[in-house]
Every structure is written in C-alpha cells, then in structure tokens.
Amino acid sequence: MGTIKLSREALEHNIDIIAHQVGGKDKIAVVLKDNAYGHGAIMIAEAVSNYGINQAVVRLEREADEISEFFENILILGDQPHTPKANFSYVINSLEEIEHFPKGCRVELKLDTGMHRNGVALGEIEEAFLQMSERGLNCIGVMSHLRASDTLSSEWFWQRRNFDDVKDKVLKLGEKYGWKLRFHLSNSGGIFRSSSCSDDMVRAGIALYGCLEMERTLPQPNLKSVLSLWGNRVATRILKKGERVGYNGIYEALEDEVVSTYDLGYANGLDRLASNRYSTPEGIALRGRISMDNAIFSSDKDELLIFDNANDYAKVVGTIGYEILACLDKDLKREWI
C-alpha cells in the first residue's frame, strides 16, 4: 500500500500558532479522535506530548486507552465508562445519560448553546448538576460546541454569548457541590475568532493538522498541512493513442502516453469521485477510474505524491478535508519526515 508522511516541523509550527493565539500551550487540548483525523493517534500523541501538551480529546474509551500514557487528562466525547481511569473524563450529552455513569466517575457536562445536536438545554443545568451530585459523579468541566465558527455570520457571537452568560451560574453550582470546573467552547475555527481566550481550554482539531479552512473575510492563520499521501508504482505501460484504461474505459489516450498503476485505491481512502478529474500537486493527471486498491496516473515515478493538503483533493470530489483525512486507511504505513 501507499505511505502517509507526517511533517513534525509542520505540526510544531501549528501548535506554536495555536499556543500564541490562546495564551499558552497549557490551554490546548489536541483532538485525536478517529485515529487523529487519519494521521495516526499514537504517533501524534507522542509528538504533541513531547512538545508539552498534556490534554487530549477522543471519541471512544478504547481510543483513550491507546494514548493514555501521554496525557494528564483525556476527554472522551461519545462513550460511557467500561474501565475508567484516573486521567479520563467523559462527556455527559443528555440528562438521560447521567444514570449510566458509575459513582466517582469524572465527567464534563455538555451544554446546548445553539447547535442543537446534543448537550443539555440551558434550562436544564440545575437539574443536571443535582442528578450528577446524587449519582456521586465528579464534574470537572462544562463545555459546548460551535456550529459555525469558520463562517462569517452572527452565530459564533450568540453561541459565545450564550456560553458566557451561564458561566457565573455554573460556577456557583460547582461551588455548591464542591466541584472545581473548567470551561471550554472553542473548536479550531473558534480559536481564531477572538484575539483573546476567555476559557480554560480550547479543543484543537483540524487546525492542529493544518487543514483549517475559514471564510476569506475571517482570520487566516498561516498553518501548514502535516500529512501528505504517497503511492508506490506497481506497473508501467505505454498507453497507445485511442486505447482506454481502467474500469469502463472512461479515459481514452489522445496520443501515446506513459501511465503507471499505484498501490492506492478507494479502499485506502482515495474518493472514487476523483476518477479522471484529479491532478496531483505536481500536475500529474489521474487517468480513468479509481479501483479498490489501485489508481492510474500519467507518470512513471517510483513514488508519487498524491496530495499534500487534503483540502485540495476534497475540492475535486465536493467534500471537505475532514472526510478525506478521516477515511484514510488505518493500515497505511505512516512515517515522520
């Protein structure tokens, strides 16, 4: 199969920018869910830990287990405890979930400030605190999630205001139940929407990996893509003028052309919609239809750069860089450069 190459220099460059923006690396929690957006969770965890980051965010408890040794606290967004550890905290997304968490479990309460996907309603905060206390849980934080931080609209402002407006109430409830709370709202886009960080923590996801896209009228941080995808040559041939290549022969050579098969396909994360439409950063055209395990390019290079920024590939297929990264085959070789 092909190879994913990760740039340590780009990763550290991005952390530097985020740390400067929020007032220090101690405020950064790195989002490593879904195999660190396809980058390789353990590799990224070790690298950011060596940099001095001590907070992480994942979706599942098993993901937290994989990286547990690297962080002081790991926030688990969408799972309930199976084997809770001292450095795990779990998000409570609804009142109904509270009864499923064991006594003594460290939790963080999610508020619905306007995204309306999950989280307790603002009018349910007191009830949530009461139920968590009666359950014997240890609430260490209160959070929410922005639905439009990367677009120019009023939505970032009113969600920010909704979150800030309940902080005093939440702090008093925390004191009542003996809990010291942290607050966090900002995702990658939210990090760059304000010149100061009023929360205790930010959750850096796509910005960490250098693929944040903000609308042109918004701040444009000078981030660098961490991941590049490379294919290895399997076979080369001369495609004669008029010959067609690949399934259904959707590409026909206009003249004699050297083409090679590379060891990547849609099973490895190359979206099939890019078939016959994509060119690499070096201007090398993808010829014909992407197969499950192979793709054909107008090249005879032994190793071919497929993309060095997932957003560029995503535009060709009409999606976002997040999806391209998250769908990269976990079994692909990953290495630092």
Q: How far apart are alpha carbons 59 and 55 in whole angstroms?
A: 14
CA within 13 Å, CB half, 302: 0
Tokens of 177: 């139940």
Give the torsion sign (CA, 263, 332, 314, 309): negative
Catalytically annotated residues? 33, 247
Q: How far apart are alpha carbons 110 and 156 in whole angstroms?
A: 17
Amino acid occupying residue 84: P
User: Which of 262, 230, 232, 233 has the alpha carbon at shortest distance from 246?
Assistant: 262
Which residues lie below 8 Å from residue 72, measured CB to CB, with a gap of 6+? 54, 55, 87
| Contact yes or no for 38/62 (Cβ under 8 A) | no
